[in-house]
Amino acid sequence: MYSGAFSSALTLSSGLFLSVLSGAAAALPELTPIPQQMCWTSGAECRLAVSEVRGVAADAALPANMPAVERLAKVLRTSLSPAPDGNLKLVLGTLPATVPDRTRGEAYALVVDRNGATITAETAHGVHHGLISLALLADPEEGIPCVTITDWPGQSMRGTYVPTVEQAETRFDQFVALKLNLLLLEDNRLYDLDDPEIRARFQRLAERCRANYIDFVPELQSLGWGHSVLEREPRAVEASLVQRMAFPVRDGRVYAPEPPLPPPLTIANASFQAGSDAWTLQTYYKSWNPSTADEAQVVACDDAAGGHALQLTLANKGTVRAWQELPVQANARYRITCRVKTRDVEGDGAYLEVYGINAQGAGALIGMNNVHVTGTTDWQESSVVIDTTGQLPARPGGALEAEDLAFRAGFERICIYVRLQDAVGTAWFDAIESVPMQRPNPLTNVVVTDRAQVKVEREDGGTVYEAGRDYTLEVPELRYPFASNVPLQVILTDNSRIQDGDTVLLTFNQATLDDVTCCPSEPLYDEFMRKSIANVVRTLNPNYLHIGHDEPRFFNRDQRCRDRNLSNAQLFADAIKRIYDSAKAANPDLRIMVWDDALNPYHNGPHLDTSEAAKLLPRDIIINVWWYDTNDMDVQLDQAVAYFMELGFATTGSPWFRIPNAWHWAELYEQHKHNPLALGIIYTSWGGVPDPWAALEFTAEHAWSFGTPKYTP
């Protein structure tokens, strides 16, 4: 696009001022991020008319087609064609010695005066940033402010996580304008690059990133959040080991009867026809207190099932709830439903949830609807499925052993809550019901691979029967999520030593509906990840690859892992090293990134007994430290980052939507900016909050020029 070379950094061609203001200097134009140094070129405000910009004279070493030039042309609504005598000059030259070495490659100098504009940088990346600033300054009607800028980023790495390619495409121009240089993309279609359309779309995004000097970092999320893997290879799931479960033998096969339906629950005054009888109404601001009639009452409601509904109202942000406790059968499953509608609800919203209560009176959340109703809505159903066995859903980061053991005996009672949580507005609830549900057959979702075995024993344990000689297996197809109710079939052979009427003991690995973590000891998982990594590297040619590994629930619990006799820390480190080796085989220069929480002794490491795992890893892995709350930041941010850097790992910090948290990350990495192991900040944008992007601009501002604009915590 450009031709010719230009050797003088700051000399300019002739042009025209739109205006010159005398007297005191006017306020400088606003840019985000704010430049490190900016002043009026002539000491007073003036503007260069768009009509006086006469083509681009670019250094011959610059790329032929720079998207930032096209961006500027679009803003100016004019054509910026190559011209040896053009007065938009793009120069590769030497910048002042005051520009820091660490980020010098992204620095630039921009001078706009009555003769035109010159951008000088030592790299094409720096020229790109200068063009972005010029486009942000320019206005097709008012022209370009005549300013002089010398600018560079404070942090070397300034990126953002994006959950889908659609969001990356939609927000890409914003990322460029904020001068980000890294885009971390997690999209499960990264596992499907064999599809030509999918491959082409990701290739376009990767090329667009490269053209705008943004490192495209694909995240092949694996292990902890293994849903993308398990959708494609469900046998890679970390299952539960079921040991020596007794089954009768009938009609030439192991007999696994369907569990009986539990009896229905009796929810008193479920449609509120008796007012608030049987329900406790409470409101929380600084403590729980009985609700006033303005906060909670039963009202006549023509479109309610029984002509009445529970009305919860908050004029000031708080929480109001109604609850009822009732007995349940052990080892049972129920669906609890209600109807809910809202008016002008702002905040967390209205929803239904259920707690289980054990014999000691301790409670645990066993069912919550993740859909919280906000705004103004008509009646809609809200429902949760609960299980009274005491097998709690696996939580991200695992569970403390004491918590798990406390509920293992199951629940004797449940407490049903309907709530308007951390909100203002009005919600109505109606028709609260329970529906008994069939529990899964005890032989459903059995994982069978070369490593995941089924063991069949005589009831007294004296004989271990042999597959092929005594029985054969009919293994149903395993699918994620693990909701199938088709059982494994154990069928006797003609010469079997097992007879009808016997009782046999089965040991097997079983997946449940909540299982989402991959098994680090399953070869099929290794093979799947190796092929996926090679495909991503070959197709997209990234400099970095993120492998996730955050928030594993449980592992080292099924037979495949237990057979290896490794500690949790050894097993977790080995899982990372296997993927690391696959990545290095695909490209020896590839840098691997991983989320820190399961490696972090201040975060999820103690819950999973994996705090020592980082000490076993290659030191060229980049550790992405994350913490989103504003509590415990001195430990979760400061000490965690120091811990990994003391071990020799390069690190990044990860804010989310909370401005105070983003500020602390910016402060911390400003303090470490001379440490080559403190790379910078990668913003995260997980869903689940009203605006997951709320702190992106703030984060980008302070990663570029810390402390401007001024912020007071």
pLDDT at 1: 36
pLDDT at 8: 33
Same domain, 615 and 694: yes
**Domain containing residue 200: CATH number:** 3.20.20.80
pLDDT at 506: 98
Average pLDDT of the segment spanning 210-214: 98
Q: What is the pLDDT of residues 392-406, one digit of tens each?
A: 566 676 544 444 555
Per the structure, the count of domains in the chain is 4
For the cut 60, the answer to whether the pLDDT of residue 605 exceeds it is yes
Same domain, 185 and 129: no
Region of residue 615 (left: phi > 0; alpha: psi -120 to 50; beta: else): alpha
| Domain extent at residue 479 | 242-256+441-510
pTM exceeding 0.85: yes
Nearest to 456 by CA among 257, 255, 258, 254: 254
Same domain, 383 and 466: no
Are the beta carbons of 570 and 611 closer than 8 angstroms? Answer: no
Same domain, 198 and 105: no
Residue 275 is assigned to a structural domain of this protein: no
DSSP structure class, residue 487: B
Residue 113 is assigned to a structural domain of this protein: yes
Average pLDDT of the segment spanning 467-482: 97
Nearest to 59 by CA among 105, 90, 13, 81: 90
Share of the chain above pLDDT 70, in %: 94
Same domain, 368 and 298: yes
**Domain containing residue 109: CATH number:** 3.30.379.10
Same domain, 468 and 593: no
DSSP per residue, 624-654: EEE--SSSSHIIIIIIHHHHHHHTT-EEEEE
Same domain, 537 and 555: yes
Same domain, 463 and 398: no
Share of the chain above pLDDT 90, in %: 85
Q: What is the pLDDT of residues 263-299, one digit of tens each?
A: 989 999 999 999 999 999 999 998 999 999 999 999 9
**Domain containing residue 352: CATH number:** 2.60.120.260
Reported as a pLDDT band with limits 50, 70 and 90, residue 379 is: very high
Integer angstrom CA distances of residue 114 from 69, 87, 194: 20, 10, 54
User: Which of 402, 417, 437 is the last residue before a domain boundary?
Assistant: 437
Lowest mean pLDDT among 55-59, 439-443, 470-474, 677-681: 439-443
Same domain, 684 and 553: yes
For the cut 60, the answer to whether the pLDDT of residue 5 exceeds it is no
Same domain, 461 and 388: no
**Domain containing residue 484: CATH number:** 2.40.30
Same domain, 534 and 666: yes
For the cut 70, the answer to whether the pLDDT of residue 509 exceeds it is yes
Residue 37 is assigned to a structural domain of this protein: yes
| Rounded distance between C-alpha atoms, residue 550 and residue 598, angstroms | 6
pLDDT at 9: 34
Within 10 angstroms of residue 341's Cβ, the number of other Cβ atoms is 21
Residue 143 is assigned to a structural domain of this protein: yes
Amino acid making up residue 2: Y
Q: What is the pLDDT of residues 651-667, one digit of tens each?
A: 999 999 999 999 999 99
Write down the mean pLDDT value for the chain.
92
Average pLDDT of the segment spanning 135-145: 95
pLDDT at 692: 96
User: Which of 437, 456, 473 is the last residue before a domain boundary?
Assistant: 437
Same domain, 670 and 602: yes
Q: For tokens 């990701």, what's the residue? A: 202
pLDDT at 397: 66
pLDDT at 305: 85
Strands 296-300, 333-357: pairing is: unpaired
Residue 712 is assigned to a structural domain of this protein: no
pLDDT at 3: 34
Q: What is the pLDDT of residues 10-57, one digit of tens each?
A: 333 333 333 333 345 689 999 999 999 999 999 899 999 999 999 999
Residue 376 is assigned to a structural domain of this protein: yes
Q: What is the pLDDT of residues 44-86, one digit of tens each?
A: 999 999 999 999 999 999 999 999 999 999 999 999 999 999 9
Residue 136 is assigned to a structural domain of this protein: yes
User: Which of 136, 151, 166 is the last residue before a domain boundary?
Assistant: 151
Residue 6 is assigned to a structural domain of this protein: no
Residues in Cβ contact with 169 at an 8 Å cutoff, skipping those fewer than 6 apart: 205
